[in-house]
Amino acid sequence: MSTEAVKEVERKVRDHFDDDAERFDSIYKTKKGIFARFVDDYWRGVVQKRLEVNVEKLEPLTGKSVLDVGCGSGRFCFEFAKHGATHILGVDFAPAMINIANGLAKEMGVDKECEFRVGAFPEVVTGETFDYSTANGFFDYIENPVSIISAMREMTKEKMILSFPKAFEWRVPVRRLRFWMKGTPLFLYTKKQTENILQKAGVENYEWINLDRDYLIVAHLK
């Protein structure tokens, strides 16, 4: 794919999440109507499950630094801070997502621990290293995961958590249709494709978790 075509994919994804930021963050809210609760639990239940498994797999977080790539409204970053992480950098190229993240960090009293940056990964992070890095619900929108994962690996000392949406799963046809109608690119992965991507990115030692509509990879780097 040409550089222009990649930039076009990025622009479409960024605009999608800039418009969709409030609705996306509402998945994490506990106060909502019966219909919204049903859809979020049944259709998008993986979003909350990913958060729980990330914390479980990264514990102990006390004193750790974490990079969260495609952090969205910052929900993972807040949870890492609440579990003792002392520096969390959340990166997202949708400004509306970062606005929500900054507001919520203040509300929750974790704004000292959590720093948020607007920009495309990896360009927006240079010369920094972290104990852990995470990218959840992110590779769904990435044309070239290998270069992104390689960059994350370079910046990470201990563990990386990466989610990949399954290509074959009962919700896929409707999900594909929804994104196609909105004109937003969507990338889905088979088990084999995910294994190849990890191998090309130099990730060798990892746990493979079948989590609802995702494969969740917990990579051990030392």
Ligand X SMILES: C[S@@+](CC[C@H](N)C(=O)[O-])C[C@H]1O[C@@H](n2cnc3c(N)ncnc32)[C@H](O)[C@@H]1O
Residues that bind ligand X (CB under 6 A): 10, 13-14, 17, 47, 70-72, 75-76, 91-94, 97, 120-121, 136-138, 141
Give me the least distance between CB of 71 and ligand X, in Å please. Answer: 6
**CA atoms of 93 and 208, how far apart (whole Å):** 28
Give me the least distance between CB of 190 and ligand X, in Å please. Answer: 20
**CA atoms of 24 and 221, how far apart (whole Å):** 31
What torsion, rounded to 10 degrees, do the Cα atoms 77, 117, 185, 217 define? Answer: -40
* Strand runs labelled E in the chain: 65-69, 87-92, 114-118, 130-135, 156-165, 206-211, 214-220
Q: Smaller CB distance to ligand X: residue 178 or 204?
A: 178
Give me the least distance between CB of 213 and ligand X, in Å please. Answer: 12
Q: Smaller CB distance to ligand X: residue 46 or 221?
A: 46
N-terminal to C-terminal alpha carbon distance within the chain = 34
Q: Smaller CB distance to ligand X: residue 89 or 222?
A: 89
Q: Smaller CB distance to ligand X: residue 175 or 191?
A: 175
Give me the least distance between CB of 178 and ligand X, in Å please. Answer: 13
Give me the least distance between CB of 139 and ligand X, in Å please. Answer: 9
Q: Smaller CB distance to ligand X: residue 144 or 204?
A: 144
Provide the angle, in degrees to the nearest 10, between the axes of the packed helices 95-108 and 3-26. 40
**CA atoms of 173 and 209, how far apart (whole Å):** 23
